[in-house]
Structure 1
C-alpha cells in the first residue's frame, strides 16, 4: 500500500476532473490525502475515501508572505504525512508543493493544467513566476502537460528539464457525459458558455458578440453557467435584464445544461485543455472555440466545431453567424462526430493509466 498526497487549489476541479483517479487509487488499497481549501466539494472527496487536510491557497494573490506560509505548510504536511508520492495540480501547488517535495526529498508528479495569466502576460510577474516554476519542477519525477504548446514552452525555456508526458487534458468521463440526442429543431438556438466569469475566458468579447447577434437573430439564446471570478455583477445584471443573456451562476451539474443546448461557446485566451469543450463534445454538441492551444485540439474545424480568433469580437460574431446558418442535419452531425473524437482521443481512462504507470514506478511495478 502506498500513501499518496494530492495538492490542489480548489475542490471543484479535483472532484469533477480527477475523481476517477482518486477512486482507482483508493480501490487499489492506497491511502489518499487531499490538501486544498475548504469548500462544498470537500465532503464529496471525503465520501470517496480521501483524508482531508485543510490548506489555504490564495489562488490569484501575489502576496509573498502568504506564499511563504503556503510553502511552510506544505513542508510540515509532507513531514507529518510522509507520503510515498505527491501529486500536484495548478500553479501554486506545482511551485510551492514542488519546492517542499525537493526540500523533504519526496517523489512527486506535476500536472501543468495551463500557463495561466501570470505566465501569458509578459512583465515582472511572469519573470518571477517562471523562476519559481523552475524551482518547483526541478526534482519532479514527471511533468504532465495538457497540450504540446505548453510543453514546448516549458522545455524551450528550461523550466521542465526532466521527463515530460503529454496527456489529453483531464480526459472526459464518457459514462457521465453520455451522448444525448440533438435538440429536435434549431429554430430557437441555445448557445452555452460554461466557465469562470473573467476576462481571460473571453467574457467581454462574448458580451459584445451576444448583443450583436441578438440584434440580428432575436430568437437566439445565450446561457452562461459559472461563478463570477471577477466583478462583472453589474454587466451580468444589465445584460440579463435586457434579455441578451441568461445567467445561471455556478452549477454543480453542467451536463443538464449541455444536453439542452445546440452548442458551446468558449472565447478563452488560453487553456491547458478546456474540460467544458470535452464535456460538450462527449454529449454530442458542437464546439465554437477560440483558436488557442488547449481549445484547438478539442475539435476538428468544420467537422466537429468552428474556430475563431481570440480577443476578436468580429471573428466571434462571424463564427456564431456561420453556425446559425448551418443546416440542421450538419449541426447534428457535428455533435455525433465530436462524440466519436472524444471516444478515440479523450477518454479519461487514458489519463488515469498514465498516472498509474508513473506512480507504479515508485513501487517498482505498475499499479
Structure 2
C-alpha cells in the first residue's frame, strides 16, 4: 500500500477526467489524498470514492505572488504532514508549486501538463517567469506527462525539461460512459452543438458569427450552446436567442442528452488546450466535429474523415466548413461520426492513461520497497 497525494485546482476536472484512475488506486488499497478547493458538488463525490479531502484554496487565474507563495507553503506543510510516497499533480499551479514543494521535500512526483496556459501562450515577461518556474518545478519529476506533442516540443525546445517525459492521449475518454449513440434520424433540422465555457478564447464569437450567417441561408439549422456564460456574453446570447439564431441551455450536468439530437459538434477554440475533452466525448458518441488547427484539437481530427479543421479566429473558414458539412448526405454524416468513434477507441481510450500511471506508480512502489 502506498500513500498517494493528488494536487488539483478544481473538483469537476478531477472527478470527470481522473475518477477512473482514483478508483483503481483505491481498489489496489492505496491511501489516496486529494488537495483542491472545496465545492458542494464534486468533493462529496470524490469522498464517496474513498478519497481523503484536503481543502486547499487555489487562485486558478490570479497572478498575485503572495497568494502563490502561500500555496507553495500550504503544499510544503501538507507534504510534511501526510508523508506521501508519490504525488500526482494536474494543471499549472499545482504542477509548479506542488512540484517545487515535492522537490524541496525530496518526494517523488508525477506531473501532468494539461495545457501551457495563456501566460505561456501570450509571450512576454509573464511567459519567461512561468517557464523559469516550470524549469525549477519539473527538474526532479519522476515523469512529466504531456497531453499533446506541441506542448512537449515547446518545453523541450525552451530547455525547460530534460528528464523522463512522454505524451499521453490527453485525459482519454471513458468509452462506456460516452457510448456510441444512434445518429439522429430526424433530418428536418440539423443541430450543431457548442459545448464549452462561453468565453472569447473558446471561439464563441466565431460560433455566433457562423450561426448568424448559416441560419439565414439554411433555416433548417439550429445552433445550440451549452456551458457557463461569462458576464460579457450574457446580453448578446439572450438577444440572439430572442431572434431565433441560437438556443442557449446554460450549464448542463450531462451533455449526452444533447449529443442524442446533435449532428455535429463545433469547437472553434483558440484557448491553450491540453487535449480537448469536448471533442473526445463528442467523437466517442459518434458525432462529427469541426475544430481549430491548434494543439489539443487537431490531433483528434482526420480531415474529411471524422470532421474538419478550421483556422482559429476565422469566422469565414468556419462558415465554409459548416456549409461543406451541410452538403453531405445523411449517410456521409453518419459515417463521419462512426469514424470518430473508431478513432477514439483506437487512440484515446482512458484506459491507456490509467495503465501508464499505474505502471509508473508500480515502479515507484518497487523503488520504495528496495530502499
For normalisation by structure 2, the TM-score amounts to 0.96
2:93 alignment counterpart: 92
The range that moved more, 146-155 or 220-229, is 220-229
Does residue 319 of the first structure (1) align with residue 321 of the second (2)? yes
RMSD, aligned α-carbons: 1.3
Q: 1:38, 1:249 → 2: CA distance? A: 23
Cα offsets for 1:264-295 (capped at 9, x unmatched) = 00011132110111111111110111111111
Q: 1:365 to 1:344 in 2, by over 3 A?
A: farther
Residue of structure 2 equivalent to 1:145? 146
Alpha-carbon deviation of 1:259?
Answer: 2.2
In 2, the alpha carbon distance for the partners of 1:186 and 1:148 equals 38
In the other structure, the counterpart of 1:136 is 137
1:182 aligns with 2:217: no
Q: State the Cα distance separating 1:185 from its structure 2 match.
A: 3.2
Name the CA distance, whole Å, in 2 between partners of 1:243 and 1:118: 37
CA contact (8 A) 1:185 1:328 kept: no
What residue is the counterpart of 1:164 in the other structure?
Answer: 165
Aligned residues: 366
Instruction: Say whether residues 1:336 and 2:341 are aligned partners.
Output: no
Which residue, 292, 299, 313 being the options, matches 1:290? 292
Q: Residue in 2 aligned with 1:120?
A: 121
**Out of 285, 288, 307, which is 2:309 matched to?**
307
Tell me how far apart the structure 1 counterparts of residues 336 and 262 of structure 2 sit (CA, whole Å): 13
Residue of structure 2 in register with 1:25 after alignment: 25
Render the CA deviation track for 1:291-338: whole Å, top value 9, x for unaligned: 111111112110111111111111111111111111111000001111
Deviation at 1:186, TM superposition (A): 2.6
- Which residue of structure 2 aligns with residue 358 of structure 1? 360
Please give the secondary structure, in 2, of the residue aligned with 1:364: helix
The Cα of 1:211 is off from its aligned counterpart by: 1.1
Distance 1:16 1:97 in 2: 21
Unmatched segments (≥5 aa) in structure 2: none
What's the CA shift for 1:187?
2.5
Equivalent-residue separation in structure 1 for 2:89 and 2:100 (angstroms): 11
- Which whole-Å deviations, capped at 9, do the CAs of 1:151-201 have from their partners, x for residues lacking one? 101111111111101110011100000011100033311111111112211
CA distance in 2, matches of 1:54, 1:105: 23
- Distance, in Å, in 2 between the alignment partners of 1:74 and 1:310 is 38
Distance 2:276 2:364 in 1: 30
What is the alpha-carbon distance in structure 2 between the residues aligned to residue 196 and residue 342 of structure 1?
23
Which 5+ residue runs of structure 1 have no aligned equivalent? none
Q: Is the 8 A contact 1:236 1:247 kept in 2?
A: yes
The 5-angstrom pairing of residues 201-216 of structure 1 reads 201-216=202-217
Following superposition, the deviation at residue 64 of structure 1 comes to 0.9
Give the Cα–Cα distance (whole angstroms) in 1 for the partners of residues 331 and 11 of structure 2: 39
SS in 1 for 2:274: coil
User: In structure 2, what is the Cα distance between the partners aligned to 1:176 and 1:354?
Assistant: 21
Deviation at 1:127, TM superposition (A): 1.5
**Map 1:131-280 → 2, pairs under 5 A:** 131-229=132-230, 231-269=232-270, 270-280=272-282
Distance (Å, rounded) in 1 between the aligned partners of 2:57 and 2:367: 35
Matched residue, 1:48: 49
Q: Give me the whole-angstrom Cα distance separating, in 1, the residues matched to 2:240 and 2:131.
A: 38
Question: Secondary structure of the equivalent of 2:4?
Answer: strand
Between the aligned partners of 2:155 and 2:99, the Cα distance in structure 1 is 15
2-structure distance, mates of 1:119, 1:229:
23
| Counterpart residue number, 1:65 | 66
Report the CA distance between 1:9 and its aligned residue: 0.7
Task: Provide the rounded CA distance (Å) in 1 between the counterparts of 2:314 and 2:345.
Answer: 31
